[in-house]
């Protein structure tokens, strides 16, 4: 077909003749989902070769299309089998930090508890800030052939914006304020990743996994209904990011098993740095101390808090290893870094 511009007064209309596969998706019980339109030559299974343009999967290429710079050519580099479902779930489960948190349930807390909560929120707003930047950094490298993976990352950016905002709001809503900045908290490792899978394993699986394990202890950490709700809602979002990461890793290991040692190498580095937590590194003293105060129930119950903190670390590390096992990296258990190894349950 021609892509020449029409002549004065003339018509081309050759674009009308491109439809050799009429497609009529029908909505399912959940409405018209990405899965419902994942049909025929438009489906993720029918992914063709990328062309470094932003031509969406299934669209007809223009012979004169310019390239936009390198992006991943192999599906395994960015794909997760659950990304269609996760995208729809993300769209359906958006929430509002302004209206879905019962801010009116906040009540004055003892000074040490309020300060500890504010310190934790200071750390979390920083962490979530980076977690929004990282997918943005990778969007141009995702081929439009793997369109839904790109869409999923866009929802993640929105989720992380909401988390950045909700923790900032919480710090400023109950007579407190922001406190001490974190000490990097391993966040640089997320920005430094030079490969999508490296980024995903470090951010989605490790860092967000550690954060998720912490959020799921929100009933213990939060002292008001508002606090507990914040952790619950955020955990719901983190679950999606984590699910993407686990399934991406699984896809890589299933289709490119030769990358196993390379992935171990990324984890060796990350687990060797500090406590190996990336954004889930809760061992920075202000964060560690704040968590111990919150978990223990006050500064005077710090020792009790330390014990619960150690349980949290145990939970973080074992859930992390379990997720890696689900993804097909069960041998990580034998190779986990020394700072994490002490928390590993016997197999």
Separation CA 168–CA 222 (nearest Å)? 15
User: Could you tell me if 90 and 29 are in contact, meaning their C-beta atoms sit under 8 angstroms apart?
Assistant: no
The closest of 187, 159, 176, 184 to 119, measured between CA atoms, is 176
Exposed e or buried b for every residue in 296-326, given b needs 16+ CB within 10 A?
A: bbebeebeebbebbeebbbbbbbbbbebbee
Residues 310-329 that bind another protein (CB under 8 A): 310, 313
Point out which span in 173-181, 194-202, 215-223, 249-257 binds another protein (CB under 8 A).
173-181
Separation CA 186–CA 184 (nearest Å)? 5
Nearest approach, Cβ of 202 to another protein (angstroms)?
Answer: 15
Point out which span in 38-46, 213-221, 240-248, 319-327 binds another protein (CB under 8 A).
38-46
Strand partners, 28: 31
Please classify residue 20 by burial: count the beta carbons closer than 10 Å to its beta carbon, then call 0-12 exposed, 13-18 middle and 19+ buried.
exposed
Instruction: Read off the tokens for 47.
Output: 């992914």
76 binds another protein (CB under 8 A): no
Point out which span in 72-80, 83-91, 202-210, 322-330 binds another protein (CB under 8 A).
83-91
Point out which span in 129-137, 249-257, 258-266, 324-332 binds another protein (CB under 8 A).
129-137
177 binds another protein (CB under 8 A): yes
Using CB under 8 A, pick the residue from 46, 175, 262, 345 that binds another protein.
175
343 binds another protein (CB under 8 A): yes
Q: Which residues contact 10 (CB under 8 A, 6 or more apart)?
A: none
C-beta closer to another protein: residue 76 or 161:
161
C-beta closer to another protein: residue 28 or 255:
28
The closest of 244, 258, 251 to 208, measured between CA atoms, is 244
73 binds another protein (CB under 8 A): no
Point out which span in 74-82, 177-185, 196-204, 241-249 binds another protein (CB under 8 A).
177-185
Using CB under 8 A, pick the residue from 78, 117, 149, 150 that binds another protein.
150
Nearest approach, Cβ of 300 to another protein (angstroms)?
Answer: 12
14 binds another protein (CB under 8 A): yes
């Amino acid at each position: 077909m021609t892509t020449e511009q029409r002549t004065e007064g003339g018509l081309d209309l050759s674009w009308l003749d491109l439809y050799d596969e009429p497609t009529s998706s029908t909505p399912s019980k959940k409405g018209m989902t990405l899965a419902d339109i994942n049909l025929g030559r438009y489906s993720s299974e029918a992914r063709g070769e990328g062309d470094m343009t932003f031509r969406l999967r299934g669209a007809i290429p223009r012979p004169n299309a310019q390239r936009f710079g390198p992006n991943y050519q192999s599906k395994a580099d960015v794909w997760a089998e659950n990304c269609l479902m996760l995208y729809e779930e993300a769209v359906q489960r958006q929430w509002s930090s302004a209206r879905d948190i019962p801010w009116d349930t906040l009540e004055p807390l003892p000074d040490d508890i309020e300060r500890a909560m504010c310190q934790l929120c200071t750390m979390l707003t920083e962490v979530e800030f980076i977690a929004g930047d990282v997918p943005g950094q990778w969007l141009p490298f995702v081929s439009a052939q793997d369109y839904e993976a790109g869409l999923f990352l866009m929802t993640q950016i929105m989720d992380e914006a909401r988390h950045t905002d909700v923790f900032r709001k919480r710090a400023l809503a109950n007579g407190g304020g922001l406190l001490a900045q974190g000490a990097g908290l391993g966040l640089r490792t997320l920005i430094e990743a030079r490969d999508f899978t490296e980024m995903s394993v470090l951010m989605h699986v490790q860092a967000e996994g550690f954060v998720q394990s912490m959020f799921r202890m929100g009933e213990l950490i939060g002292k008001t209904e508002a606090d507990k709700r914040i952790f619950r809602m955020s955990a719901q979002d983190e679950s999606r990011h984590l699910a993407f990461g686990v399934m991406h890793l699984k896809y890589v290991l299933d289709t490119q098993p030769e990358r196993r040692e390379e992935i171990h190498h990324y984890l060796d580095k990350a687990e060797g740095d500090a406590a190996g937590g990336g954004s889930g590194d809760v061992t920075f003293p202000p964060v560690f101390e704040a968590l111990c105060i919150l978990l223990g129930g006050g500064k005077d119950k710090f020792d009790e808090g330390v014990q619960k903190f150690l349980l949290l670390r145990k939970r973080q590390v074992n859930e992390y290893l379990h997720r890696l096992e689900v993804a097909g990296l069960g041998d990580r258990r034998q190779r986990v870094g020394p700072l994490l190894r002490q928390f590993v349950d016997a197999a």
